[in-house]
Structure 1
Amino acid sequence: MDYGYQLLRHVFAQVFGNLPQAARITLVLLAAPMVVVFVTNPGLLDGTAFHFNPDTGTTDFSSLQPLGALLTVIVGLISWLWAAVAWHRYVLLEEYPNGLLPRWRGSNIANYFGNALLILLVMIAVALLGGIVVGIFVAVLQSPAIIVALGIGLIIGVSWMATRVGLVLPAAAIGERLTLRESWAATAPVSGQIILPIIVIALVTTILNQGIVAVFGTSVDVMTPIGQQQQVTLSAIGVVLSVAVGWAQMLVNLALMTTLYGNLIEGRQLN
Structure 2
Amino acid sequence: MLGWKLFVRALTLLLDNLGDALRVSALPYGAVIVLSVWVAGAYPSTLDPQSVTDGMTLSGGAAGATLLTVVLNLVVSLWVAVAWHRYVLLSERPAGWVPPVNGGAMLGYLGRSLLIGLLVGVAIVGISIPLGFLTLALPGGTLLVGAVSLFIGMIVFYRLAVVLPAGAIGRKMTLGEGMEATKGHTETVLVLALLTVGFSLLLQVPAMLDGTVGMISIVYQGVVGWIGLMLGVSTLTALYGHVVEGRPVE
Q: TM tier, shorter chain? A: 0.7 to 0.9
Equivalent residues in 2 for 1:208-219, closer than 5 Å? 208-214=203-209, 216-218=210-212
Q: Give 1 or 2 for the bigger CA radius of gyration.
A: 1
The 3-state SS of whatever aligns with 2:136 is helix
Q: What residue in structure 1 maps to residue 167 of structure 2?
A: 172
Deviations 1:175-201 (A, max 9, x none): 110011101111113222222221122
Matches within 5 A, 1:28-177: 28-37=27-36, 41=39, 44-45=40-41, 49=45, 62-63=58-59, 65-141=62-138, 143-144=139-140, 146-177=141-172
Give the 3 Å change call, closer, same or farther, for CA 191–47 of structure 1 in structure 2.
closer
Contact 1:160 1:194 in 2 (8 A): yes
1:68 Cα shift?
2.0
Question: Equivalents in 1 of 2:176, 2:198: separation in Å?
Answer: 29
- Once the two structures are TM-superposed, the CA of residue 85 in structure 1 deviates from its matched residue by 0.1
TM-score (norm 1): 0.80
CA gap 1:45/1:167 in 2 versus in 1, 3 angstroms: same
Bigger RCO of structures 1 and 2 (CA < 8 A, at least 6 apart): 2
1:56 corresponds to? none
Q: Report the equivalent of 1:23.
A: 22
Give SS of 2:227's match.
helix
- Aligned letter for 1:173? A
CA-CA distance at 1:251 after TM superposition: 1.4
- 1-side partners of 2:114 and 2:46: how far apart? 35
Q: 1:147 to 1:100 in 2, by over 3 A?
A: same
Structure 1 CA distance for aligned equivalents of residues 199 and 47 of structure 2: 36
5+ residue gaps in structure 1?
53-59, 219-233
Deviation at 1:122, TM superposition (A): 0.8
Structure 2 CA distance for partners of 1:68 and 1:239, relative to 1, 3 Å: closer
In structure 1, the residue matched to 2:224 is: 245
Amino acid aligned to 2:41: L
Q: Percent identity?
A: 29
Deviation at 1:110? 1.7
Query: How far, CA to CA, are the matches of 2:157 and 2:122 in structure 1?
Result: 12
Q: How far is the alpha carbon of 1:106 from its aligned partner?
A: 1.4
Relative to structure 1, the CA distance from residue 62 to residue 25 in structure 2 (aligned partners, 3 Å threshold; closer, same or farther) is: same
Distance apart, 1:159 and its partner CA: 1.1
Q: Which whole-Å deviations, capped at 9, do the CAs of 1:239-258 have from their partners, x for residues lacking one?
A: 33332222212212111211
Task: Detail structure 1 runs of 4+ shifted over 6 Å in the superposition.
Answer: none
Partner amino acid, structure 2, of 1:6 = K
Distance, in Å, in 1 between the alignment partners of 2:191 and 2:44 is: 46
Q: Is the 8 A contact 2:46 2:66 kept in 1?
A: no
Q: Is the contact made by 1:12 and 1:252 (CA closer than 8 Å) also made in structure 2?
A: yes
1:139 partner SS: coil
Shift of 1:138: 4.8
Aligned residue for 2:187, secondary structure, equals: coil
Conserved? CA contact 1:32–1:76, under 8 Å: no
**Do residues 256 (structure 1) and 250 (structure 2) align?**
no
Report how many aligned residue pairs link the two structures: 242
CA distance in 1, matches of 2:154, 2:42: 39
Equivalent-residue separation in structure 2 for 1:180 and 1:137 (angstroms):
31
Alignment of 1:2-21 (within 5 A): 2-21=1-20
Report the Cα offset of residue 134 of structure 1.
4.2
1 CA distance for matches of 2:162 and 2:115? 13
